[in-house]
């Protein structure tokens, strides 16, 4: 994938949509932030929706990175560069994805759990939730249970979201939920969980209200559960 031969600068704007998205997958793989930002802008100028650019150019590129990371072809420093390039594209899309005239429809605290420093997916969920009209308090990565409790106390959200990308860190979500149960506050919140290694069964087993496969599902689930809980509360 990554070309080792020196090559002339490619004029991204001269490429067709299909060639450009493929080139962006390569550029993400090679951690080329400026090129990713340029490609993102070009696709937007061509009339692509922000979510199409996100999914077809950026998320798909990161999926390819993930495969070669898993197979030992790419290592942490290279994947960090890819993540950095992806964030460059996401920053351009952020204002477009969160652009909404909608009134605030609820509050959410979201963070990646203790031991886990993956934040791209969580940030994406955070952006899409903002775009849907939620006020989001993003507490970052590597959060012990105390951080979630403090944020709940400080922001009084309806929803608590947790992200985990590692099979070794996903059990920590249960620590947070169990602590909420011990403190008698579990039923005061809607708990949503997500991250690549999770599934529906896991979400149920740890006592979450729902597992969200991706950011769009997180938004839909959040809206629905907030409405249901308001209806219940009369």
Interface residues for ligand B1M in 13-52 (CB under 6 A)? none
Please identify which residue in the block is written with the tokens 């993102």.
40
Residue from 163, 190, 206, 209 binding ligand B1M (CB under 6 A)? 163
For residues 102 and 160, what is the distance between their CA atoms, to the nearest angstrom? Answer: 21
Asked if 112 and 142 count as a contact pair (C-beta separation under 8 A), the reply is yes
Interface residues for ligand B1M in 77-96 (CB under 6 A)? 79-80, 83
C-beta closer to ligand B1M: residue 7 or 76: 76
If binding is defined by CB under 6 A, does position 214 make contact with ligand B1M? Answer: yes
Interface residues for ligand B1M in 165-204 (CB under 6 A)? 165-167, 192-197
Residue from 12, 57, 65, 98 binding ligand B1M (CB under 6 A)? 65
Query: 176 forms bridges with which residues in the sheet?
Result: none
C-alpha pair distances (Å), 58 with each of 35, 62, 66, 136: 12, 6, 12, 23
Q: Which of these segments, 29-37, 43-51, 113-121, 130-138, binds ligand B1M (CB under 6 A)?
A: 113-121
Distance in Å, CB of 234 to ligand B1M, minimum: 26
Q: Which of these segments, 21-29, 119-127, 131-139, 174-182, binds ligand B1M (CB under 6 A)?
A: 119-127
Distance in Å, CB of 149 to ligand B1M, minimum: 17
- Which helix (H) or strand (E) element contains residue 152? helix 145-155
The secondary structure of 78-136, three-state, reads HHHHHHHHHHHHHHHHHHHHHCCCCCCCEEEEEEEECCCCCCHHHHHHHHHHHHCCEEE
Specify the 3-state DSSP secondary structure of 65. Answer: helix
C-beta closer to ligand B1M: residue 116 or 158: 116
Instruction: Write out the two tokens for 190.
Output: 């809607």
For residues 5 and 22, what is the distance between their CA atoms, to the nearest angstrom? Answer: 18
Query: Which residues here bind ligand B1M, judged by CB under 6 A?
Result: 59, 62-63, 65-66, 69-70, 76, 79-80, 83, 110, 115-122, 124-125, 161, 163, 165-167, 192-197, 212, 214-215, 218
């Amino acid at each position: 994938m990554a070309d080792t031969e020196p090559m002339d600068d490619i004029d991204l704007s001269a490429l067709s949509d299909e060639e450009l998205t493929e080139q962006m997958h390569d550029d993400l793989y090679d951690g080329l932030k400026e090129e990713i930002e340029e490609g993102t802008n070009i696709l937007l100028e061509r009339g692509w929706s922000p979510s199409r650019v996100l999914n077809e150019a950026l998320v798909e590129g990161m999926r390819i990175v993930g495969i070669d990371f898993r197979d030992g072809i790419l290592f942490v420093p290279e994947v960090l560069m890819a993540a950095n390039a992806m964030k460059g594209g996401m920053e351009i899309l952020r204002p477009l994805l969160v652009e909404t005239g909608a009134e605030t429809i609820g509050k959410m605290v979201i963070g990646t759990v203790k031991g886990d420093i993956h934040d791209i997916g969580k940030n994406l969920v955070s952006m899409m939730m903002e775009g849907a009209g939620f006020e989001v308090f993003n507490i970052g990565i590597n959060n012990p249970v105390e951080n979630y409790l403090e944020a709940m106390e400080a922001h009084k959200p309806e929803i608590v979201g947790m992200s985990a990308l590692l099979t070794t860190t996903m059990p920590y979500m249960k620590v947070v939920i169990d602590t909420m149960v011990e403190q008698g506050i579990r039923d005061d919140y809607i708990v949503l969980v997500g991250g690549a290694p999770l599934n529906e069964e896991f979400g149920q087993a740890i006592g979450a209200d729902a597992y969200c496969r991706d950011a769009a599902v997180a938004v839909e689930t959040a809206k629905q559960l907030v409405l249901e809980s308001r209806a219940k509360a009369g």
